[in-house]
Structure 1
Amino acid sequence: MTVNLQGILQQPGQGSSYWVFEDLCTFKAVGEETGQAYALIEITVQPQNGPPPHIHRHEDEAFYIQEGELEFQLDEQIILAIPGTFLHSPKGQLHRFTNIGSQPAKLLCWVTPAGLEKFFMEVGVPVSEKTQLPSLSPADIKKILAAAPRYGLEIILPSAESSQV
């Protein structure tokens, strides 16, 4: 484990980026740089998109909305999150978010402790051109569902069945 004792500096547009669930995830800090304390991910969510309902078994997630309007679900509560909104979802809480606007939304996601970023890197597609929007294929979904259990992630599928993944 390497800890960067000099600090971390990421300018706008910097950080490794991956397409995950058709959204752009840019890693501003990863576990190897924070002593596994946390990871910080900037997520650009496409209109009418976002991850399905899911539960983390290993980490808390916190979100800070920078741009756009997102509908968050935390357990049974539905929240409209606009720029400046902060939300915290402790491990074990069902949650999801959807960009309800017509333009991409942007948020920061803190993962504590780090580790979930490795899931995003495993199932995502490294970005070579940020303007190239991806398409989520059935093979991508199978890959996500197969990898999720290794990261303590349970994804609740849109059909009434839930899948422990």
Structure 2
Amino acid sequence: MTIHQNGLFVQPDQGRSYYFGQDLYTFKAIGEETGEAYALCEVIVAPGGGTPPHRHSRENESFYIQDGEIEFQLDDRTLVATPGTFLHSPKGQLHRFTNMTSLPAKLLVWVTPAGFEKFIAEVGKAVNGQITSAPPLSPEDLDKILTTSPKYGIEIIPPPPGQ
């Protein structure tokens, strides 16, 4: 990665990468590089991967689908997004996304203002070196995600009992 006074230039396969569950988050821009205005990451969503229903109290979150098919929930609407689709979830809105297919999907996630990248860095598993496959999510990992999320203004909605 090269940072210039007049901008930011990040080559393909560069950026800070973390496994978050089954999915690979690679940050192309973080708050420290954007005056805290935004963070941008590329996410490769594994088959069956995605997020639980959640809300951000600090950030707006936007999504641009690059490859594959992702099912989104925005409040009570369920939508299927394919390449070229853009979605925006303002802060406070209940949302989630899931890859319901048998193939990986890729999307860009733009978060304004920045800050979400610090949550992923704290609870994700840093990728140092070659990207392989995601390590399994342990009960300890899940507990860390649930206990850390309020620190970043994120409310994770647990599944109903019995699911």
How many Å separate the matches in 1 of 2:4 and 2:135?
A: 33
TM-score by length of 1: 0.92
**Moved runs in structure 1, 4+ residues, more than 4 A?**
none
2:94 matched residue in structure 1: 94
Quote the RMSD (CA, aligned, Å): 1.5
Q: Which residue of 1 aligns with 2:84?
A: 84
In the alignment of these two chains, the number of paired residues is 159
Deviation at 1:130, TM superposition (A): 1.1
Deviation at 1:101, TM superposition (A): 1.4
The 5 Å alignment of 1:21-40 reads 21-40=21-40
CA shift, 1:83, in A, is: 0.3
Deviation at 1:100, TM superposition (A): 1.4
Distance in 2 separating the partners of 1:20 and 1:104? 15
Q: CA contact under 8 A between 1:45 and 1:106: conserved in structure 2?
A: yes
Q: Helix, strand or coil: the match of 2:43? A: strand
- Which residue number corresponds to residue 155 of structure 1? 156
Q: Deviations over 1:134-153 (max 9, x none)?
A: 21110000100111001000
Percent identity among equivalent residues? 60
- TM-score after normalising by structure 2: 0.94
Q: For residue 140 of structure 1, what is the aligned residue in structure 2?
A: 141
The one-letter amino acid of 2:95's match is H
